[in-house]
Amino acid sequence: MTRVTPPPGPAAAEPVQVEAAEGAADAIVGRPHADGPLPAVLVYTDAYGIRPSVAAYAQRLASHGYLVLVPNIFYRHGPAPVAPDIERLIASEDRSALFEKLGPLMAALTPEAVVADARCWLGYLAERPDVRDGPVGTVGYCLGGRLALRTAGAFPDAVAAAASFHGGNLATTEDDSPHLVAVDARAELYVGHADNDRSMPPEQMARLTQALAEAHVRHTAELYVGAGHGWTQPDTPVYDEPSAERHWMRMLELFGRTL
């Protein structure tokens, strides 16, 4: 049965600590001002990590009736943000220094580390009394798209829906490509591709779709024509409001019929 997505209501976002695979991780929890228990959504950020716009995102998603967990995926390197002036660096025309800093952080997110952390994120949600029993949803952006698909495949009983928006390198020819794990998902998957995305070229889009279809994984892939890599993020130069609002509609439809 399709769940009708409730209209947005009051919600709050607050910092929490979550015990992860290699120590305590800072995180954000978004929660509506409503009685629980609530369906839960695990959110993976892009490579810029937790920042003010992410807190606002958690609050907006929670306002639709979800308990939202946004962990600091880079906790091994310290608490968020990844840089004191992260908002200025993101908006800068020259982000080379920022990406130089992000390189080692992203490299540390090996498939093994991602799965070990995901087990902790899912365990945290399962232990919260305000979270409803049963599988959760997960969504990821850019780098986080890979993490969302990997989590869905690695924990098929725990994830009912997974979405990736402008995820990069989802279906490479490497042995540890995310699509090779995503084929084990029992969740419904949604993949929103950015147009002209060098990190997710047409051959990878086709490889991902073929693999999911052959594995009989229920999925939808959609190309956001004219939208650049990172189009959903309001604090980036490539933000595309019409496409970003369409992404919200697609995500809420997915979670509404699965959670």
Closest C-alpha among 33, 174, 40, 26 to residue 111 = 174
Say how many domains are in the chain: 1
We report the CATH number of the domain holding residue 48 as 3.40.50.1820
Q: In what order do the strands lie in the sheet with 219-224?
A: 11-20, 23-32, 67-71, 40-44, 136-141, 159-165, 188-194, 219-224
Q: Which of 181, 224, 232 is nearest to 200 (CA)?
A: 224
Q: How confident is the model over 103-151, as pLDDT tens digits?
A: 999 999 999 999 999 999 999 999 999 999 999 999 999 999 999 999 9
| Cβ-Cβ contacts under 8 Å for 259 (sequence gap 6 or more) | 3, 39, 40, 41, 66, 135, 136, 137, 160, 161
pLDDT of 5: 52
Q: Is 235 a catalytic residue?
A: no
Tokens of 208: 């991902």
pLDDT band at 3 (very low <50, low <70, confident <90, very high): very low
Q: Looking at the domain assignment, is residue 196 inside a domain?
A: yes
Whether 2 is covered by a domain: the verdict is no
Q: Is residue 233 domain-resident?
A: yes
Task: Evaluate if residue 2 carries a pLDDT over 70.
Answer: no
Question: What is the amino acid identity at position 35?
Answer: D
> For a pLDDT cut of 90, what percent of the chain falls above it?
91
CA triplet 143, 41, 259: central angle to 5 degrees? 125
Of the pLDDT bands very low, low, confident and very high (cuts 50, 70, 90), residue 1 is very low
Higher pLDDT, 144 or 2: 144
Cα separation, 90 vs 210, whole angstroms: 35
Return the DSSP state at 21: T
Q: Is residue 34 predicted with pLDDT exceeding 60? A: yes
Reported confidence tier of residue 6, pLDDT bands at 50, 70, 90 = low
Domain range for residue 37? 11-258
Domain for residue 3, yes or no? no
pLDDT over 70 (residue 61): yes
Q: Does residue 114 belong to any structural domain of this protein?
A: yes
pLDDT at position 35 is 85
Which of 64, 197, 219, 247 is the catalytic position? 197
pLDDT greater than 50 at residue 11 = yes
Q: Is residue 78 part of a domain?
A: yes
The answer to whether 142 is a known catalytic residue is yes
Structure tokens at 239: 């933000």
Mean pLDDT, all residues of the chain: 95
Please indicate whether residue 229 is annotated as part of the active site: yes
Given the residues 142, 179, 219, 247, select the one marked as catalytic: 142
Residue 56 lies in a domain: yes
This prediction has a pTM of 0.96
Does residue 8 surpass a pLDDT of 80?
no
Which one has a higher pLDDT value, 83 or 232?
A: 232
Q: Residue 1: inside a domain, yes or no? A: no
Instruction: Please pick, among 179, 193, 229, 247, the residue that the annotation labels catalytic.
Output: 229
